[in-house]
Structure 1
Amino acid sequence: MKLRTAALWSAFAATHVLVAWLGWVLPNQPMGDVVLVYEPWSAAALSGGAVMGITATWVYPQLALVPMLISQLLAVPLEPVLGIDAAYLIGWAVLITVGDLLAFAVLVGRGRARRRRAAGWFWTAALLLLGPIAPYRIDAVTVPLAVVGGVWLGRRPAVGAALLTVGAWVKVWPGALVLAAVAAGRRAWRVMLTAAGVSVALIAVFFLLGADRELFGFLTTQGGRGLQIEAVAATPFLWLAASGAAVIDYSFEILTFQIRAPGADLVAWLLTPLMMVVVAGMLLLGFWRARRGASWQRLLPALSMGLVTALIVTNKVGSPQFQTWLIAPVILWIVFDRSRSQTPTALVLMLCALTFAVYPLTYDGLLNAHLLPVTLITLRNAGLIVLLVLSVRAIARTPLSARSASTHQRTSNR
């Protein structure tokens, strides 16, 4: 047992070192956002310039600035030797690694539980297959918060909800796990009140710091975005681009590549209401299954996966780091409902590998609509749709708890 646990911990730590190093040597700057965007934002805040989310409207929730500032402070001792960029990259990698190790300790501990060891091996494999995009984005900060918060929804629902809410104020997606817990009936009122209380407290702090119109800028600034080339809905337009009937443009306003083609803007506009409809429908389905007596331990992972996948599939953005969002739901599935977790686990690992094959390995070709990367991203996006369908199916077929099944049987026999 001790040897297995030591091997797991060693593999997890070694994977972080490997993927961090790959960010330095692979093409297309997989750690580019860290030094080109995060470092200038944090430097400006520390030097009396614009404070993103407080004095300037931002695409991220306000707490996203905190890890950027911490990395800036971690980089200070290294700057005289390595320079600003290298020092900041190392500071960021250290911050993400420490956060993951702390969450791994909560998840795996001494490795006594087989399910938790399996979840730990999955996390290790997902990071390895996804490559350097996993640690070198702000999304990496939310993964350990979501893992610990999701696992703690079982025995510490208030603490779990608080961690997930904090994560949602870094990047919105962990809020999907809060909604899943509420719909699944896991002490719904306690989870809702905790999430609301944490959010109100944070909003009050942001307001006192000077934010007013900037408070919800991360929501309002997304409305005018076009259809990013890696989004699921952009897949048909990529094939048009491969045939010369569509164009891939770079937006200097939001720093991303988008599709320009007849109908692309309409599709981008329709995706937001579609996301709202899909999420609402899935929550209603989960709530109905919970009311029917479905076991929350088996309903929560499927509902979490369904909601998170819906946020990706119906998104006008398709950034490769979105695949890190899938890690926490799979871990919940392995820990709470391992018998039904094999298919989503294998599918998410495949999605990570396909994403790595596109970004950073063949991304130059994707920007020129070459056949291989377009095929790879088509397979990846098709896999996301399959994962969404499987999640909905799992929600609808979540087994009833033993007590609820017995009650249902007695009612049916009357």
Structure 2
Amino acid sequence: MTNRVLGWAAFALVHLVVGALGFLLPNEPMGDVYRVYEPWSRAVFSGGGIVGVTQDWVYPHLALLPMLVSHLPGALVGSYTVGWAILVTLLDAVAFAVLIGSGRSIGRRCAAGFWLAAIVALGPVGMYRIDAVSVPLAILGCLWLLRRPGVAAALLAAATWIKIWPAALVATAVVAVRRRSVVLGAGALVSVVVLGVVVAAGGADHALGFVTGQTGRGLQVEAPVSAVYLWGALLGLEGWTVYYDQGILTFQVTGPLLEVVSAIMTPALVLAAGAVVAVGVVKVRRNAAFVRLFPTMGLALTTVLIVVNKVGSPQFQTWLFAIVVFGLVVDRRRWVAPGILVLLSAALTQLVYPVLYNGIVSPEIVAVAVLTLRNLALVVLMVWMVVRLCRLPVRSIP
């Protein structure tokens, strides 16, 4: 009983402090909520169009749902931004309740402590972005995969239709779970329902706009692949700059061979992800244990999505939380060290944004060095998980 009380007290304190920091730290870490999410959702109520239906959108279609729902608590407290924080906190509370359970499991307490520490380490950008809605759904999906694979797969599919990254966990589940037909069926059902609603609303032409809209993007300043260009801009090399793209509302880099590098990043991401999946399939066929395979492959695939990507944003760190939480629940001895590296990466990310972000967009040595260290931490984590996956022991079962 005491463990549960302390856990919930820590949960409340963490969310209160991190939520407040969104209003106190520089560079408006909660700015996307009232500058972007609120106008998008208000347009639905005012007849100004529906993103993803009447026009292409950068996010999958279910992302609009939490933006709309946030108006309810927002109306009660008089602030859409605070309403968003309340919604995220409530979703986190549901996942936290399932995670901590009775409070007697050391693994679950360790995982809960890691999640709260990760929220603090990353700071308000982890709360005030659409990714925050997908994290508790992903945690629930991972925890329920074996006992309730249909429900788990539906949650992971719904999370994917909010922000695309949980597709890595869906792919891992299809490979690692023996009842993969249930996983595939539940995921397909959710997808059919979402697309059916979009098409019925007249959005057939924009149904996959969130996919096609990513291919033409340049290199975002925080992506690991942009590090060379960012250092070139810092050193004042001719043609190496950081600029703001008004079309997609992000800072990007310029420099020599930029178009070539940008063009190869998408196929490189597909190949790298495919290689991880292929190794996972081999391990399954050789009877690797689920509790070893699923978290290792899941984190390997998720880090590939971050590292081998021309897009990079601070909230991408939240993608790492769910699978590490699961790893700590089932095998905390092997997952403490990766968890520490994820916490370090998250803390460095908070230093980059919002604290030192002015030194990124107008490159300064300290900010660029911190971002480089963060990116190196992600590369190390990716290589570590890929190597762990390749070395995963298999069982000889007659």
TM-score, normalisation: structure 1 = 0.94
1:153 aligns with 2:145: yes
Displacement of 1:5 in angstroms is 2.3
Identify the match of residue 140 of structure 1 among 132, 137, 140.
132
Residue 108 of structure 1, aligned match among 92, 100, 125: 100
SS of match in other structure, 1:248:
strand
| Equivalent position SS for 1:337 | helix
Matching residue of 2:91: 99
Q: Are 2:259 and 1:260 equivalent residues in the alignment?
A: no
Q: Is contact 1:301-1:337 (8 Å) kept? A: no
Is 1:249–2:248 an aligned residue pair? no
1:126 partner amino acid: A
In the TM superposition, what whole-angstrom CA distance separates every residue of 1:248-280 from its partner, at most 9, and x where no partner exists? 110000000000111222212111000100111
Paired residues of 1:53 and 1:214 also in contact (CA < 8 A): yes
Q: Distance in 1 between matches of 2:111 and 2:20?
A: 24
Match of 2:30 in 1: 31
User: Matched residue pairs, number?
Assistant: 396
What CA deviation, in whole Å up to 9, does each residue of 1:151-185 have, x standing for no partner? 11021111100000000000011111110011124
Q: Choose from 209, 222, 225 the match for 2:201.
A: 209
Letter in 1 for 2:16: V
The code of the aligned residue for 2:178 comes to R
Identity score, percent: 46
Report the Cα offset of residue 406 of structure 1.
5.8
In the TM superposition, what is the alpha-carbon distance from 1:194 to its structure 2 partner? 1.4
* Aligned-pair Cα RMSD in Å: 1.1
Determine whether 1:274 maps to 2:273. no
Q: Which residue of 2 aligns with 1:128?
A: 120
- Give the letter for the 1:49 counterpart: G
Aligned to 1:51: 50
Q: 122-131 or 335-344: which moved more?
A: 335-344
* Counterpart residue type for residue 385 of structure 2: S
Displacement, 1:366?
Answer: 1.1
Residues in 1 aligned to 2:58 and 2:8: alpha-carbon distance in whole angstroms = 35
Which deviates further from its counterpart, 304-313 or 66-75?
66-75
**Amino acid across the alignment from 1:182:** V
CA drift of 1:211 comes to 1.0
2:75 and 2:181 map into 1 onto residues whose CA distance is 44
Letter in 1 for 2:117: A
Q: How do residues 288-303 of structure 1 correspond to structure 2 at under 5 angstroms? A: 288-303=282-297
CA distance in 1, matches of 2:47, 2:107: 49
SS in 2 for 1:10: helix
Q: Which runs of 5+ in 1 are unaligned?
A: 80-86, 408-414
Say if 1:107 and 1:116, in contact at 8 Å, map to a contact too.
yes
Describe the SS at the equivalent of 1:28.
coil
In the TM superposition, residue 405 of structure 1 has moved relative to its aligned partner by: 3.7
**Does the 8 A contact of 2:287 with 2:397 survive in 1?**
no
Q: Deviations over 1:212-261 (max 9, x none)?
A: 11100000111111101000100111110110121111000000000011
Tell me the distance in 1 between the aligned counterparts of 2:28 and 2:66: 20
Residue in structure 2 matched with residue 362 of structure 1 by the alignment:
356
- Given that 1:185 and 1:287 are in contact with CA atoms closer than 8 Å, whether structure 2 keeps it comes out as no
Contiguous gaps of at least 5 residues in structure 2: none
Q: Answer whether contact 1:301 1:336 (CA < 8 A) is retained.
A: no
Aligned-residue offset at 1:112: 1.9
- Mapped contact 1:23–1:31 kept (Cα < 8 A): yes
Instruction: Quote the Cα distance in structure 1 between the aligned partners of 2:31 and 2:242.
Output: 20
Residue 336 of structure 1 deviates from its aligned partner by: 2.1
**Conserved in 1, the CA contact under 8 Å of 2:61 and 2:194?**
no
Q: Distance in 1 between matches of 2:104 and 2:27?
A: 41
Aligned to 1:411: none
Within the candidate set 327, 330, 337, 2:331 is matched to 337
Please list the CA deviations of residues 359-388 of structure 1 after superposition, one character each: whole Å capped at 9, or x if unmatched.
000001111110001000101001111111
1:176 and 1:196 mapped to 2: Cα distance?
15
Give 1:149 deviation, angstroms.
Answer: 0.5
Query: Which of the residues 379, 386, 389 maps onto 1:392?
Result: 386
Q: Which runs of 4+ in 1 moved over 4 A?
A: none
